[in-house]
Chain A
Amino acid sequence: MLNNLNDEQIKGIEVCRDKWIKIGLQTGPINRDAAIVAVNKAYKCAGLEPPKEVVFCSSPLDMDKKIREVSKDQHSFVSSNGFANCWTGWVAFADYFHTYTDVKNLEVFEGLRDLSCNCGFVSFFDTHIFISERPEYIKMDDTGRTHCENGPAIRYADGFEVYIWHGVRVPKSWITDWPDLDQALHNSNLELRRVAAEIIGWAKILDHYQADVIDEDADPQIGTLLRVNIPEVGEEYFLKVLCGTGRTFAIPVPEQDDEGKRIDTALAANAWTYGIKPWEYKPEVRT
C-alpha cells in the first residue's frame, strides 16, 4: 500500500499536472495515425473488439452529420459525446500513479491516455468511433473566459466557428457587424440583452432613447445623471461620465442609495459608485 510520497514523487505532482493542462488546452491538427493506434489499444484494454471503422471528423458539426448518417438519426454529437482531449482530469490522476509510483496494472488506461493526446471530441460506438479534430484556435479574455471582439472565439479548420463575448455565445452578426439596437434590447434572453448593451455601449443606447438629464455637474469627470425609459425594461438611471483616460462611460446606478436616500445629483451617483457619501468624494487627479 502506498501511504507516503517520497521527494521525487512529490516533485512529479507539478510536472504531471502541467503536462496534462498543456494537453487539455492543445489546439491544432491531431495525429490521425497515432489516434488509430490509441483507439485499438483503448478497446483492447477495455476487453472489447476494436471498432470496424475510425471516422475522423473535421469539427463537431461534421461529427454530428456523420454520427447521424451512420446511426440513421438514432444518435447525434450532443447525445453521444463521451470523451475529449480537454477532459483530462482523471487521465492525469491515473498517469501520475503509472509514471511516478509502483502502483501496478494501470496499463489498462494507456489507450485512452494516448487518445487524449491525439483527439478533439470523441464518441465511442460498438462498431464505429468518431474523432473530431481540435479547434484551430480558442481565444480568451484576461480572466480566462472564451472571448473575441472581432471574430470567432473558437474556430475549426473546416470553418465551423463559435462567436463568444466574454463567455457568452452570441449571434455572428453581433461581432462581425453590430447588434441591431432595437432587436438586441428586445431579446427575450436577459443575458444576451446585457451583452448586447455592452457591445453597443450604454452611452450610445442612452443617446438612442433620448435620456432625460436629471443633473449635470460642471466637471465631466463627475458626470451627468440621466433617466431613461427602456422599452420592456422600464425606467433606469445612469451616470454618464468622462473617465481619466478620455473615454465616456455610462454606468447604471440605482434610484436610491444604500440608505434609501434618493440619488438626485451626478455627484451623489458618482460617490455611490465608490461606496462613499457625496461629501467624501474627492476626484482622483490623473497625470
Chain B
Amino acid sequence: MNEVRNRVWSQVWGQVSDQVGDQVWDQVWDQVRNQVVDQVWGQVSDQVRNQVMDQVREQTK
C-alpha cells in the first residue's frame, strides 16, 4: 500500500537534494510547496479529508 507514492517521492527527494543548493531548496519549499499546502491543505484537505473520512466512518459503523 502506498508503495507507489513512497518510492516516487523518495526518488524525487534524492534527485532534488543532489542537484539543488540549500538556498534554492528553501526558497521553493517556502514559496511553492508551503503556499500550496497552506491554501489547499489548509482550506480543503485538512477539513475535507477529515470531514469526509468522519462521515464515511459514521455511515459504515
Contact = CB atoms under 8 A, between A and B. Distances in A.
A48 B56 contact: no
A246 B41 CA distance: 39
Contact of B1 (A77, A106, A124): A124
Main secondary structure of the interface of B (DSSP, over half): helix
A2 B19 contact: yes
B36 A17 contact: yes
Interface stretch (A19-27, A204-212, A251-259): A19-27
Given A2-B21, A124-B2, A89 B47 contact: no
Contacts of A154: 48, 51-52
Interface string B35-56: 1110111111101110111111
A234 B15 CA distance: 61
Interface stretch (A93-101, A185-193, A221-229, A273-281): A93-101
B53 to A, nearest CB: 5
B16 to A, nearest CB: 6
Main secondary structure of the interface of A (DSSP, over half): mixed
Contacts of A109: 8-9, 11-12
Interface residues of B, number: 46
Contacts of B40: 20-21, 24-25, 86-89
Contact of B52 (A24, A60, A123): A60
Q: For this complex, into which size category does the number of interface residues on chain A fall?
A: 35 or more
Contacts of B53: 60, 77-78, 81
Interface of A: 1-5, 13-14, 16-17, 20-21, 24-25, 42-43, 45-48, 60-61, 64, 75-78, 80-84, 86-90, 92-94, 96-97, 101, 103-106, 108-109, 111-112, 121, 123-126, 135, 138, 140, 144-146, 154, 160, 162, 164, 167, 169
Interface of B: 1-5, 7-9, 11-12, 15-16, 19-21, 23-24, 27-29, 31-37, 39-45, 47-49, 51-57, 59-60
28 contacts: A1-B20, A2-B21, A3-B24, A5-B24, A13-B28, A14-B31, A20-B40, A25-B43, A42-B8, A60-B53, A60-B56, A84-B45, A84-B49, A87-B40, A94-B12, A96-B32, A97-B19, A103-B15, A103-B19, A105-B11, A105-B15, A109-B11, A112-B8, A126-B3, A138-B44, A144-B42, A146-B47, A164-B47
